[in-house]
Amino acid sequence: MSATRRIEKRTLVAFHEAGHAVIGAYFGKRVLGITMLEDAHLNASTTMTALEPMAPRPVIEAEIEVCLAGLYAELIGFGQHHDGHRCDLEHARSWIERVSVETRESRAEILRRLERTVQDVLRQPVLWGAVETVADYVLRYGAIDGATLVDIMRHHTHYPVSTDFDAFRRFN
């Protein structure tokens, strides 16, 4: 991979993970951090609290939106994406199936509805500013911890940043 292509991919990956982290924090998930590994495949991951198996539908839908946020952060920022979103989409589809059974909406309708929500939320200037700042931090340092992410979110937004879904339930 050329140096230019590697820099481009690194940037896409950083924005992808920043999208997950910012949307996760926005919906009240406790984001523990982002790590970018400078290996041959340029792997990265965002670590958050796990979803409870019996979580209510709004919490499951927020989880799906977190899964979709990485892809849409890349698309909104750059008009393109890398192939790292496939696992996220598979994870989202498994949760969409559960929502579909409960709401009787088709899986495609649920996906379209939640994709629109993710895009609308990410396009809010305060949240997009947080995505850019988190991505820049990850590009500069290779990682970000949860406390730093919370500081960035508080700086960029007027939204309460919490450590669990209680805030999500209160404000939505």
Domain assignments of the chain as residue spans, ordered by start: 3-167
What tens digit of pLDDT does each residue of 54-95 get? 889 999 999 999 999 999 999 999 998 877 778 899 999 999
Whole-number Å distance between alpha carbons of 33 and 46: 6
Q: Is the pLDDT of residue 171 over 50?
A: no
Q: Is the pLDDT of residue 165 over 70?
A: no
Q: Is the pLDDT of residue 1 over 70?
A: no
Average pLDDT for residues 88-104, to the nearest whole number? 92
The CATH number of the structural domain formed by 3-167 is: 1.20.58.760
Q: Give the pTM.
A: 0.87
Average pLDDT for residues 104-121, to the nearest whole number? 96
9 pLDDT band, cuts 50/70/90, is confident
